[in-house]
Amino acid sequence: MALILIPMLAALGLQAADAVPAEEPELERTAMQFPLVAFDKDIVARCSVTMDVRPNGSPTNMCGDCNVASPHDFVKAERFEKTYVREVLGVVREWRFAPSENGFTGYSRNFDFNLEHLNPDLLASLETPDAPVCD
């Protein structure tokens, strides 16, 4: 099964950058969507997700963390951290990896949610969250 790349919502100005581990497992994935409520408020995010993968290729034991920012002083961007975490985990839940004999644990992935019309320094100012440790 080859890696299937599905384009992001370019019409919304979404840019997604994925940190690729040294040995990228084969993966079929769905597109990440920019949360509209965050889009309306110009909130960008840098997220990290960790998961285990069952032998059948389905993800399990997922957790995520996001750092967020907005160029607007009147927007409390931190209120949207959970919005991004829900979006990332909701999409990752649908991913399917190539089946393997034992599956694997502790697979981490990073995502950037950026808006083209904003200064790129805003996203650059956000630290990538440490890969979360799932309970």
User: At 22, which amino acid appears?
Assistant: A
Q: What is the mean pLDDT of residues 5-28?
A: 42
| pLDDT tens column, 45-67 | 999 999 999 999 999 999 999 99
CA distance 50 to 48: 7
Are the C-beta atoms of residues 34 and 123 closer than 8 Å to each other? no
Domain limits of the chain?
A: 10-124
Report the run of H or E that residue 108 belongs to, with start and end. Answer: strand 104-115
| pLDDT tens column, 13-23 | 434 333 333 35
Classified as helix, coil or strand, 124 is helix
Residue with tokens 């799932």: 134
State pTM to two decimals: 0.75
Report the run of H or E that residue 91 belongs to, with start and end. Answer: helix 81-92
Q: CATH number of 10-124: 3.30.2420.10, 1.10.3720.10, 3.20.20.150, 3.40.109.10?
A: 3.30.2420.10
Of 114, 111, 116, give the one whose Cα is nearest residue 128.
111
CA distance 79 to 100: 39
Task: Name the average pLDDT for the chain.
Answer: 80
